[in-house]
Amino acid sequence: MACRLRAADMLELDYPRALGFLKYALQNRDRIDLDVKRCYCDYTGDRERLLLRFRYPLCINLPEEKPLRALEGLPAKIPGPYSILLLQAGNAALATVENGRITHHNVISKYVTRKKQGKAQLNYLNTKGKSRAGSRIRLKNMALFIDEVLDWFDTHLGNRHQTLLYSCPPPLWGLLFSGKRQPPFTKKDSRLRKIPLDINIPRFAEVKRARHEIEQGRLEWSDPLPDAVREEITRLWEGGRDTPD
Protein backbone atom coordinates (compact mmCIF):
# COMPACT_ATOMS: atom_id res chain seq x y z
CA MET A 1 0.00 0.00 0.00
CA ALA A 2 1.35 3.41 -0.98
CA CYS A 3 -0.46 5.24 1.83
CA ARG A 4 1.56 6.88 4.55
CA LEU A 5 0.63 7.77 8.08
CA ARG A 6 0.50 11.45 8.89
CA ALA A 7 1.24 12.84 12.36
CA ALA A 8 1.61 9.27 13.60
CA ASP A 9 2.50 7.94 17.01
CA MET A 10 4.95 5.05 17.09
CA LEU A 11 5.55 2.20 19.51
CA GLU A 12 8.27 -0.45 19.30
CA LEU A 13 7.24 -3.83 20.67
CA ASP A 14 9.39 -6.70 21.86
CA TYR A 15 8.65 -10.14 20.47
CA PRO A 16 6.04 -11.30 23.07
CA ARG A 17 4.01 -8.08 22.86
CA ALA A 18 4.33 -7.95 19.07
CA LEU A 19 3.05 -11.51 18.86
CA GLY A 20 0.15 -10.55 21.11
CA PHE A 21 -0.86 -7.62 18.91
CA LEU A 22 -0.46 -9.72 15.77
CA LYS A 23 -2.92 -12.26 17.17
CA TYR A 24 -5.31 -9.43 18.01
CA ALA A 25 -5.00 -8.04 14.47
CA LEU A 26 -5.60 -11.39 12.81
CA GLN A 27 -8.68 -11.95 14.92
CA ASN A 28 -10.07 -8.77 13.35
CA ARG A 29 -9.28 -9.49 9.71
CA ASP A 30 -12.50 -7.84 8.55
CA ARG A 31 -10.89 -4.49 9.40
CA ILE A 32 -7.18 -5.17 8.88
CA ASP A 33 -5.31 -6.07 5.66
CA LEU A 34 -2.39 -8.49 5.95
CA ASP A 35 0.71 -8.37 3.73
CA VAL A 36 2.77 -11.47 4.58
CA LYS A 37 5.59 -10.58 2.17
CA ARG A 38 6.37 -7.30 3.90
CA CYS A 39 5.12 -8.32 7.37
CA TYR A 40 2.51 -5.56 7.49
CA CYS A 41 -0.93 -5.33 9.05
CA ASP A 42 -2.74 -2.20 7.85
CA TYR A 43 -5.96 -0.64 9.14
CA THR A 44 -7.60 1.73 6.67
CA GLY A 45 -10.36 4.12 7.67
CA ASP A 46 -12.79 6.19 5.64
CA ARG A 47 -11.70 7.34 2.18
CA GLU A 48 -8.94 4.73 2.19
CA ARG A 49 -6.92 6.69 4.72
CA LEU A 50 -4.27 4.56 6.43
CA LEU A 51 -4.80 4.89 10.18
CA LEU A 52 -2.58 2.12 11.52
CA ARG A 53 0.37 0.12 10.26
CA PHE A 54 1.88 -2.72 12.24
CA ARG A 55 5.17 -4.18 11.02
CA TYR A 56 5.34 -7.46 12.89
CA PRO A 57 8.67 -9.23 13.60
CA LEU A 58 10.38 -10.34 10.39
CA CYS A 59 11.24 -13.70 11.93
CA ILE A 60 7.53 -14.62 11.94
CA ASN A 61 6.84 -16.33 8.61
CA LEU A 62 3.09 -16.42 8.04
CA PRO A 63 1.36 -18.26 5.18
CA GLU A 64 -1.23 -16.57 3.00
CA GLU A 65 -3.82 -19.13 4.02
CA LYS A 66 -4.97 -19.46 7.63
CA PRO A 67 -2.26 -17.25 9.19
CA LEU A 68 -3.98 -17.19 12.58
CA ARG A 69 -3.78 -20.97 12.82
CA ALA A 70 -0.07 -20.78 11.99
CA LEU A 71 0.46 -18.42 14.93
CA GLU A 72 -0.88 -20.96 17.38
CA GLY A 73 2.21 -23.14 16.96
CA LEU A 74 4.72 -20.34 17.58
CA PRO A 75 6.60 -19.96 20.88
CA ALA A 76 5.17 -17.16 23.03
CA LYS A 77 8.32 -15.78 24.66
CA ILE A 78 11.06 -16.09 22.02
CA PRO A 79 11.09 -16.53 18.22
CA GLY A 80 11.35 -19.91 16.59
CA PRO A 81 14.61 -20.83 14.82
CA TYR A 82 15.65 -18.52 11.99
CA SER A 83 18.82 -17.48 10.17
CA ILE A 84 20.53 -14.19 9.30
CA LEU A 85 22.48 -14.14 6.02
CA LEU A 86 24.35 -10.91 5.30
CA LEU A 87 26.34 -11.00 2.07
CA GLN A 88 28.32 -8.52 0.04
CA ALA A 89 31.04 -9.19 -2.52
CA GLY A 90 33.83 -10.90 -0.60
CA ASN A 91 32.20 -10.41 2.81
CA ALA A 92 29.59 -12.46 4.63
CA ALA A 93 28.25 -12.58 8.17
CA LEU A 94 26.10 -15.65 8.73
CA ALA A 95 24.21 -16.74 11.84
CA THR A 96 21.47 -18.98 13.14
CA VAL A 97 19.25 -17.96 16.06
CA GLU A 98 17.66 -20.65 18.20
CA ASN A 99 16.19 -20.69 21.69
CA GLY A 100 16.64 -16.95 22.02
CA ARG A 101 20.37 -16.84 21.26
CA ILE A 102 22.80 -16.87 18.35
CA THR A 103 23.90 -20.48 18.08
CA HIS A 104 26.18 -20.62 15.03
CA HIS A 105 27.85 -17.69 13.36
CA ASN A 106 30.73 -17.07 11.01
CA VAL A 107 32.33 -14.13 9.21
CA ILE A 108 33.90 -14.78 5.80
CA SER A 109 36.14 -12.25 4.08
CA LYS A 110 38.02 -12.55 0.78
CA TYR A 111 39.85 -10.07 -1.44
CA VAL A 112 37.61 -9.78 -4.50
CA THR A 113 37.42 -6.00 -5.02
CA ARG A 114 39.38 -3.89 -7.47
CA LYS A 115 40.97 -1.27 -5.22
CA LYS A 116 40.77 1.69 -7.62
CA GLN A 117 37.23 1.12 -8.84
CA GLY A 118 35.92 -0.47 -5.65
CA LYS A 119 33.93 -3.00 -7.67
CA ALA A 120 33.87 -6.75 -7.23
CA GLN A 121 35.61 -8.95 -9.77
CA LEU A 122 32.35 -10.75 -10.51
CA ASN A 123 31.40 -7.63 -12.52
CA TYR A 124 34.43 -8.13 -14.78
CA LEU A 125 34.13 -11.82 -15.63
CA ASN A 126 33.72 -11.13 -19.33
CA THR A 127 36.53 -8.59 -19.75
CA LYS A 128 40.09 -8.97 -20.96
CA GLY A 129 41.26 -7.89 -17.53
CA LYS A 130 40.61 -11.33 -16.12
CA SER A 131 43.89 -12.51 -17.70
CA ARG A 132 45.92 -10.26 -15.41
CA ALA A 133 47.41 -11.66 -12.22
CA GLY A 134 45.35 -9.48 -9.87
CA SER A 135 42.15 -10.35 -11.69
CA ARG A 136 42.93 -14.07 -11.57
CA ILE A 137 43.51 -13.83 -7.81
CA ARG A 138 40.22 -12.02 -7.31
CA LEU A 139 38.35 -14.54 -9.44
CA LYS A 140 39.88 -17.42 -7.49
CA ASN A 141 38.99 -15.72 -4.20
CA MET A 142 35.43 -15.16 -5.37
CA ALA A 143 35.11 -18.88 -6.12
CA LEU A 144 36.53 -19.70 -2.68
CA PHE A 145 34.16 -17.20 -1.10
CA ILE A 146 31.12 -18.79 -2.75
CA ASP A 147 32.28 -22.26 -1.70
CA GLU A 148 32.75 -21.21 1.93
CA VAL A 149 29.32 -19.58 2.00
CA LEU A 150 27.71 -22.71 0.54
CA ASP A 151 29.64 -24.89 3.01
CA TRP A 152 28.18 -22.89 5.87
CA PHE A 153 24.69 -23.08 4.38
CA ASP A 154 24.94 -26.87 4.02
CA THR A 155 26.20 -27.32 7.58
CA HIS A 156 23.94 -24.97 9.50
CA LEU A 157 20.73 -24.30 7.57
CA GLY A 158 18.07 -26.91 8.16
CA ASN A 159 14.34 -27.29 7.65
CA ARG A 160 13.79 -26.30 11.29
CA HIS A 161 14.61 -22.66 10.45
CA GLN A 162 11.26 -20.98 9.88
CA THR A 163 12.70 -17.91 8.14
CA LEU A 164 15.85 -17.25 6.12
CA LEU A 165 16.46 -13.51 6.43
CA TYR A 166 19.02 -12.19 3.98
CA SER A 167 20.66 -9.07 2.60
CA CYS A 168 22.59 -9.53 -0.65
CA PRO A 169 23.15 -7.54 -3.89
CA PRO A 170 21.27 -9.11 -6.84
CA PRO A 171 24.44 -9.99 -8.86
CA LEU A 172 25.94 -11.90 -5.93
CA TRP A 173 22.61 -13.55 -5.09
CA GLY A 174 22.39 -14.76 -8.67
CA LEU A 175 25.95 -16.05 -8.55
CA LEU A 176 25.10 -18.27 -5.58
CA PHE A 177 22.63 -20.13 -7.81
CA SER A 178 24.67 -20.11 -11.04
CA GLY A 179 26.92 -23.13 -10.49
CA LYS A 180 26.44 -26.88 -10.38
CA ARG A 181 26.50 -26.68 -6.60
CA GLN A 182 23.32 -25.10 -5.29
CA PRO A 183 22.32 -23.64 -1.90
CA PRO A 184 20.06 -25.84 0.28
CA PHE A 185 17.09 -23.65 -0.71
CA THR A 186 15.68 -22.29 -3.96
CA LYS A 187 15.22 -18.67 -5.00
CA LYS A 188 11.49 -19.10 -4.45
CA ASP A 189 11.77 -20.73 -1.02
CA SER A 190 8.84 -19.42 1.04
CA ARG A 191 11.17 -19.00 4.02
CA LEU A 192 13.28 -16.34 2.28
CA ARG A 193 12.75 -12.73 3.28
CA LYS A 194 14.88 -9.68 2.54
CA ILE A 195 16.04 -7.64 5.51
CA PRO A 196 14.78 -4.04 5.03
CA LEU A 197 17.95 -2.44 6.40
CA ASP A 198 20.96 -0.74 4.92
CA ILE A 199 23.72 -3.18 5.84
CA ASN A 200 27.30 -2.06 6.39
CA ILE A 201 30.21 -4.40 5.67
CA PRO A 202 28.96 -7.73 7.08
CA ARG A 203 30.47 -8.35 10.48
CA PHE A 204 29.17 -9.88 13.70
CA ALA A 205 28.12 -6.41 14.90
CA GLU A 206 25.85 -6.14 11.85
CA VAL A 207 24.30 -9.52 12.70
CA LYS A 208 23.43 -8.25 16.18
CA ARG A 209 22.04 -4.99 14.78
CA ALA A 210 19.90 -6.86 12.25
CA ARG A 211 18.68 -9.27 14.91
CA HIS A 212 17.30 -6.42 17.00
CA GLU A 213 15.26 -5.17 14.04
CA ILE A 214 14.18 -8.67 13.03
CA GLU A 215 12.72 -9.63 16.41
CA GLN A 216 10.79 -6.47 17.22
CA GLY A 217 7.49 -5.11 15.99
CA ARG A 218 6.76 -1.51 15.09
CA LEU A 219 3.31 0.01 15.49
CA GLU A 220 2.40 3.38 13.94
CA TRP A 221 -1.01 4.99 14.11
CA SER A 222 -2.95 8.23 13.84
CA ASP A 223 -6.46 9.30 14.85
CA PRO A 224 -9.27 8.57 14.57
CA LEU A 225 -8.84 4.94 15.63
CA PRO A 226 -11.69 2.68 16.77
CA ASP A 227 -11.97 2.56 20.55
CA ALA A 228 -11.17 -1.16 20.71
CA VAL A 229 -7.94 -0.70 18.75
CA ARG A 230 -6.89 2.28 20.86
CA GLU A 231 -7.56 0.32 24.05
CA GLU A 232 -5.33 -2.47 22.79
CA ILE A 233 -2.55 0.01 22.01
CA THR A 234 -2.96 1.59 25.45
CA ARG A 235 -2.43 -1.79 27.12
CA LEU A 236 0.74 -2.28 25.08
CA TRP A 237 1.94 1.26 25.80
CA GLU A 238 1.51 0.82 29.54
CA GLY A 239 3.05 -2.64 29.48
CA GLY A 240 0.02 -4.10 31.18
CA ARG A 241 -0.89 -6.65 28.55
CA ASP A 242 -0.27 -10.26 29.54
CA THR A 243 2.04 -12.10 27.16
CA PRO A 244 0.23 -14.80 25.15
CA ASP A 245 0.29 -18.36 26.40
Domain count, the chain: 2
Same domain, yes or no: 52 and 87: no
192 belongs to a structural domain: yes
**Contacts within 8 Å (CB) and 24+ apart, 169-172:** 169/87, 169/88, 169/89, 171/120, 171/122, 171/123, 172/87, 172/88, 172/89, 172/120, 172/122
- The structure's pTM equals 0.83
pLDDT band at 4 (very low <50, low <70, confident <90, very high): low
- Are residues 94 and 161 both part of a single domain? yes
Of the ranges 20-34, 112-126, 231-245, the best mean pLDDT one: 20-34
pLDDT at 243 over 50: no
Q: Are residues 173 and 190 in the same domain?
A: yes
Q: What is the pLDDT of residues 89-134, one digit of tens each?
A: 899 999 999 999 999 999 999 988 765 554 554 554 444 445 566 6
Domain range for 208 is: 82-214
Percent of the chain with pLDDT over 70: 85
pLDDT for 240 beyond 50: no
User: How far is it, in rounded angstroms, from Cα 57 to Cα 210?
Assistant: 12
Least confident segment among 43-47, 157-161, 195-199, 241-245: 241-245
pLDDT of 209 strictly over 70: yes
Q: How many CA atoms lie within 13 A of 184 on its CB side?
A: 15
Residues 121 and 138 in one domain: yes
